[in-house]
Amino acid sequence: MTELLKEMERALADLLQSGLATGGPAAVSRLEKLKVRCGDVGLHTGAALLGELAAALSARSHRVEKDDQPAAAAFFRTVRYIELCREKLQETEIWRRWQEIENQDE
């Protein structure tokens, strides 16, 4: 799961570097693939957020007047989701180590 979160971060970083205006079909395709992988490992909220971002980017490319608000909002919600996942993984790892230490003391 850690590797998947890293891949999500890389995709978002690449999108941020290229900008929403040049994200295009390649970014949408990449996000859709990550969405499927998230769903496969049980990160259903992550899958939904990636799908929302991909849809916002796709819709943006078909408009004459560009509105970055939906894509930007989805982008930052996804970033926050990744942060929360990382926090949860850290808490789980701390708890696991604590249990190991307690079991060694017995």
For the stretch 62-75, pLDDT in tens is 666 767 888 899 99
Nearest to 78 by CA among 59, 58, 56, 61: 56
Q: Using one digit for the tens of pLDDT, what is the confidence trace for 75-89? A: 999 999 999 999 999
- 40 membership: H or E segment, kind and range: helix 20-41
How many domains are there within the chain? 1
The first and second tokens of residue 35, run together, are 């969405």
Q: Which domain holds residue 21?
A: 2-105
Q: What DSSP designation does 64 have?
A: S
